[in-house]
Amino acid sequence: MSETPSPREVFLELLAGITAGRFADLAGLYAEEAVVETPFVPAGPRRIEGRAALGARFQEVAAHSPLDLASANVVVRETDDPEVVVAEWDYRVHHRVTGRTVEAANIQVLRVRDGLIVHSRDYHDHLALAVAGNSLPQLVAALGAA
């Protein structure tokens, strides 16, 4: 019988899956009723509820993302709540279409219960991603329309 992974181990597995482009595997790290919030996302859903919806989102990213991601400077901090970790890291982002490479800072607050993510608050440097994709004008237009 295998031991339930710690919140730290679950985060590291999530990060490894993202950077390896194994998006089809990621939904399995989340509980059925999981909630993912991205409060700083400039356009798109700021809250996704449920493993099925997350799986669909990961499929969409896998099908359309022109980004290669490598993680660096990873720090995972445990908290006084044994279910919660706070992770900080940088992505080295290479945009395959524009050829641009940027660094994007990230913070994620994860609540992991019984080895599955039940809640996540994700803070990513969306401006750096827009710059990498040469999509800053579209981002500004989307913000103006909101």
- Closest alpha carbon to 61 in 110, 106, 21: 21
Q: Is the pLDDT of residue 96 over 80?
A: yes
The mean pLDDT of 84-99, rounded to a whole number, is: 95
Predicted model pTM: 0.90
Token pair listed for 127: 């401006």
**pLDDT tier at 145, thresholds 50, 70, 90:** low
In the block, tokens 């490479």 appear at 101
**Which residue would you say has higher pLDDT here, 46 or 138?**
46
So what's the pLDDT on residue 138?
Answer: 72
Determine the Cα–Cα distance for residues 122 and 136; give it in Å rounded to an integer. 21
Q: Exposed (0-12), middle (13-18) or buried (19+): which is 110, by Cβ within 10 Å?
A: buried
**From the centroid of its chain, how far is CA 140?**
22
**pLDDT tier at 9, thresholds 50, 70, 90:** very high
Q: What share of the chain is helix, strand, coil (3-state, %, to 5)?
A: 35, 40, 25
The mean pLDDT of 46-52, rounded to a whole number, is: 97
Q: Which range (29-33, 41-45, 77-81, 84-88) has the least confidence? A: 41-45
**Other CB atoms within 10 Å distance of the CB of residue 129:** 21
